[in-house]
Copies of this chain bind each other. A is one copy, B any other.
Amino acid sequence: MPPRFAARMGRVAPSAIMELLKTAGSGEYISFASGLPDPALFPADLLGAAAERVLAKDSSGALQYGPAEGYPPLRDWVAERLRARGFAGGPENILLTSGSQQALDLAARAFLNEGDAVCIESPTYLATLQVCDSYGAAYRPAPQDEDGLEIDAAETALSAGCAMLFALPNFQNPTGRTLSAPRRERLAAALDKTPTILMEDDAYYDLRYEGRPLPPIGSLMRGGAALYSGTFSKIIAPGLRVGYLHGPPEVIARLTQLKQITDLHTGSLSQRLVCDFVTQCDLRGQIERLQAAYRAKRDTMLAALRTSMPAGIEWTHPAGGMFLWVTLPPTLDASELLKSALARGVIFVPGAGFHPDGRGANTLRLNFVSAPADKIVEGIGILAEIVRDRIS
């Protein structure tokens, strides 16, 4: 007899991005599709030295089971780091997670009943939609403009009732847009008046290439419940799978119980490698190297777009992060474009998948940090030719 899956599995579907990543894994493509950082910038030697130190100093701890909430010195460090971003509290506000993806999944599992409404930026991070789908959420999408989420629309969604609001305020995946300071204030004030949980994913916070850091939405809230996730994936290495969630201690305590039944705890060795790196190595230098390299690549892609794209094509100018967002004329379909691009060795992610309702067929996401500079120029040139062919 064939196994009968639970009903929720009807809402768990393969990710178009991951399927594309598999294709891209063959290495024959110029890939603007992935969410991968540039591996040339991983601090491999420093992490090798960190591994040596950690195993010499505390191999029993690094290899043993650990507390569900995470390695205490790393919780302390994250709490301090987030105080500098405006979040009060100490280690009791921090849950260390297996990447920030797990932070999203735990938050959704803890707060979403089937049918609950979730306010999202539209478009938004694909895996946010996948997680919310799996818990049977309904969506109240709010559009964005160049200053990020439109607050009037978000307020309307909140008034209609939302269990949760997902926000990616900095260099949003997929658009690269940043929520402006006044909008952060307004959104925080609106959230303070509701029981809606804010789930703020700030994975790209440190990858800022211009302008000054803005305060997280959650740090501006005075009453409501704010969760805030971050990760070491973008500034150290994603393969370690260490992220974190900040929230009120009573919420963190409950999420810790959920974390425990999910996978007991995040890797003991991984957490110690991260902790050693952030306390013993030059983290600021590592971040500055990433910023310089990614800024140059962003500028390369923006210049290539300006040089080669025909009139009528628009794109965002991200102040940080890894992605920019292209809007084609309404008559063009990015999935059709992808077929031609694949045939010519270039891949990207069509934009429709980042919307819960299939909108955005004429949009696409480009990762500007993965490919080498010359391939960025070559790949954008190819995309521009295809677009020109389609328009004419």
Which A residues have a C-beta under 8 Å from some C-beta of B? 1-9, 12-15, 18, 22, 25, 34-37, 39-40, 42, 44, 47-48, 51-52, 55-56, 59-68, 97-99, 101-102, 105, 109-113, 116, 127, 130-131, 134-135, 163, 194-195, 197, 223-225, 233, 237-241, 248, 251, 254, 257-258, 260-270, 273
10 residue pairs A–B, Cβ–Cβ below 8 Å: A1-B223, A6-B109, A12-B261, A39-B60, A48-B52, A64-B238, A65-B233, A101-B262, A101-B263, A130-B261
A64 near B42 with CB under 8 A, answer yes
Contacts of A14 in B (CB 8 A): 257
Closest chain B residue to A103, Cβ basis: B263
A4 near B64 with CB under 8 A, answer no
A224 near B1 with CB under 8 A, answer yes
Contacts of A197 in B (CB 8 A): 3
A112 near B6 with CB under 8 A, answer yes
How many angstroms between the C-alpha atoms of A47 and B268 in the bound complex?
Answer: 14
Closest chain B residue to A59, Cβ basis: B44
How many angstroms between the C-alpha atoms of A7 and B14 in the bound complex?
Answer: 27
Closest chain B residue to A248, Cβ basis: B3
A42 near B63 with CB under 8 A, answer yes
Contacts of A163 in B (CB 8 A): 4, 6
How many angstroms between the C-alpha atoms of A99 and B116 in the bound complex?
Answer: 31
How many angstroms between the C-alpha atoms of A258 and B9 in the bound complex?
Answer: 8
Contacts of A56 in B (CB 8 A): 48
A262 near B113 with CB under 8 A, answer no
